[in-house]
Amino acid sequence: MRKLKNSELDRLTVDDFKDAEKTPIIIVLDNIRSLNNIGSVFRTSDAFLIEKIYLCGITATPPHKDIHKTALGSTDTVDWEYIENTMDLVEKLKADGVKICAIEQAENATMLNDFEVEKNTTYALVFGNEVKGVSQKVVSESDVVVEIPQFGTKHSLNISVSCGVVVWDIFSKLRR
């Protein structure tokens, strides 16, 4: 077996990406501190043709060298917008018929492996601060709280890892 060269991967151009049909997933970053995490979320969002990223609260915005370091140009492909107040955004998205999914550990959370996606539904996946998680107000307003099952000694995953796990799971369920 031979590794493929980048030139053999048949990736979209930036213009083709902009014109491509997007996956009905919106990412909401609720007060993310790490610029590297933000860049990684952009890169994951590019990989799975995510509709849009909303950067909220203290979450930094492009252009920034530390975001660019991990985003590797995906800030130029994935649509994004800064909204100061996460709750204002959640209320707007809900009014637009988007299903709000807080990715968090909470009472009565739905485990990711048990989460069933609905066709013709757009999902907003809310990922929270590296220390405090998704704010309680947002959790309370969410249509569903989705938890990633974990079996080791640590209490959580890095936000960029969580994003990759959840986006891949929902993406694959939507494609079935």
pLDDT tens sequence across 69-117: 999 999 999 999 999 999 999 999 999 999 999 999 999 999 999 999 9
Instruction: Give, for 70, the enclosing helix (H) or strand (E).
Output: helix 65-71
List the beta bridge partners of residue 110. Answer: 146
Q: pLDDT per residue over 134-159, tens digit each?
A: 999 999 999 999 999 999 999 999 99
Structural domains present in the chain: 14-175 (3.40.1280.10)
CB 61 within 8 A of CB 84: no
Indicate whether this model's pTM tops 0.75: yes
* Residue 133, phi-psi category: left (phi > 0), alpha (psi -120 to 50), beta (remainder): left
Q: pLDDT per residue over 7-44, tens digit each?
A: 999 999 999 999 999 999 999 999 999 999 999 999 99
Closest CA to 167 of 109, 107, 104, 123: 123
* Residue 57, phi-psi category: left (phi > 0), alpha (psi -120 to 50), beta (remainder): left
**Residue 51 binned pLDDT confidence (cut-offs 50, 70, 90):** very high
Distant-in-sequence, close-in-space partners of 22: CB < 8 Å, separation ≥ 6: 49, 50, 51
CB 139 within 8 A of CB 30: no
